[in-house]
Amino acid sequence: MSNKEILELAMNLKPVDRLMIIDALLRSLDEPDPKIDAIWAEEAEKRLKAYREGRIEGVPMEDVFLD
């Protein structure tokens, strides 16, 4: 079955069923990558340590979240 045929079949489904398919497809694209998570966790630890040691300064929340 081709992609076009699958799409045509999906378009004939009830909206709630199409939504379930869309949700499942989007979730499949956003699966966490343990390697990337580990890299970010290590970076966060480095930044926290540098902040606590006074090697870097924090940025006030007001400067980060502008109106």
**C-alpha separations of 33 from 11, 15, 29, 30, 38 in Å:** 32, 31, 11, 9, 9
- Cα dihedral 11→15→16→17 (10° resolution): -10
Instruction: Report which DSSP code applies to 1.
Output: -
3-state secondary structure at position 57: coil
pLDDT of 20-65, one tens digit each? Answer: 999 999 999 988 889 999 999 999 999 999 999 999 999 999 989 8
Question: Tokens 């006074």 appear where?
Answer: 54
pLDDT band at 67 (very low <50, low <70, confident <90, very high): low
The answer, as to whether pTM is greater than 0.85, is no
